[in-house]
Amino acid sequence: MKLSWWKIACILLLLFSFTAGFIINVPYVGNLYQTIRNFFFHVPMWFGQIALLSLSLGYSIAYLRSGRLKYDIYAAEFAKVGILFGILGLVTGAIWARYTWGEYWSNDPKQMAAAIAVLIYFAYVVLRGSMTDMDKRARVGAVYNIFAYFIYIPLIMILPRMVQSLHPGGLEGAEGGGNPAMGGDSLDPVMRAVFWPSVFGWILAGIWISNLKIRFFLFTHKNILNG
């Protein structure tokens, strides 16, 4: 079995982040103690989600421009794996929150925004499921997907920055003020060196999963899809 270079890179990056993430010395920040290690696994989910949904947007635009059904399948599968990443991010965040904030769910603005984002894309899946004609499903789905993406970005990038949050670095006036992903001053160079490989590893893993799903779909629907 021969793997292409980016799949090998994905395996190596994830192996590195899973081992280094648990053995490096982490800085002592407030009440986080060792739970700061969740940073290497929780935050890459959101980077992965943004990357996958951006790819989904790209293929939806490509579908509307070219009308090739294949691109619609790409867009749908990337969006579905984006939803999976969103759910994983919410779960890893909730488990972490149980030990730092005391509750699985505390209506933090960032938690809310992430949950709404998952709902928006669930609606995309429901919409696609409601139509049986493949061409119509592709066209209407693509229109909704593009519209949804431009609501999704302000929802997760702008709104949570406007209010205080329980997230590390979420206090008003903290360094990197309220950035949804990076906890400002809590990130030292050693952590960065583990964090970025983890981000790219997870993005590649997401693309890999979607790729398998797309190939499987195209294989099972070979007789309807030509082109």
Partner 1 sequence: MKGVFTLMQKDLLLELRQQYTFWGILLYVASTVFVLYLAMGKPQADVFNGLFWMIQLFVCINAVAKSFLQESKGRMLYYYFIGSPTQFIIAKLIYNALISVLMVVMSLILFFFLLGTPVLNIGSFVGLAFLGAVSIGLVFTLMSAIAAKAQQNAAIMAILGFPLIIPQLLLLLRISRSMLGEVFREGALLQMFSLLVGLDVLVIVLSVVLFPFLWRE
Shortest distance, CB of residue 151 to partner 1, whole angstroms? 5
How many H-runs (helices) and E-runs (strands) does the chain carry? 6, 0
Q: Least distance to partner 1 from the beta carbon of 55, Å?
A: 19
- Report the nearest approach of partner 1 to the CB of residue 67 (Å): 10
Q: Six-digit token pair at 114?
A: 């992430």
Q: What are the structure tokens assigned to 58, written together?
A: 């790209």
* Phi, psi torsion values for 29, nearest 5 degrees: -125, 115
Which residue number, 27 or 67, has a Cβ lying nearer to partner 1?
67
CB 185, min distance to partner 1, A: 22
Would you say 95 or 158 has its CB closer to partner 1? 158
CB of 170 to partner 1, least distance (A): 15
Nearer Cβ to partner 1, position 94 or 140?
A: 140
Q: Which is nearer to partner 1, 28 or 150 (CB)?
A: 150
Of the two residues 44 and 141, which places its CB atom closer to partner 1 in the complex?
A: 141
Own/partner contacts of 57-62, CB < 8 Å, gap of 24 or more, are 57/145, 57/146, 57/149, 60/141, 60/142, 60/145, 60/146, 61/142, 61/146
Question: Which spans of this chain sit near partner 1 (rule: CB under 8 A)?
Answer: 64, 116, 119-120, 122-123, 126-127, 130-131, 136, 139-140, 142-144, 146-148, 150-151, 154-155, 158-159, 162, 172
The DSSP-derived string for 104-168 is S----HHHHHHHHHHHHHHHHHHHHHT---HHHHHHHHHHHHHHHHHHHHHHHHTGGGGS--SST
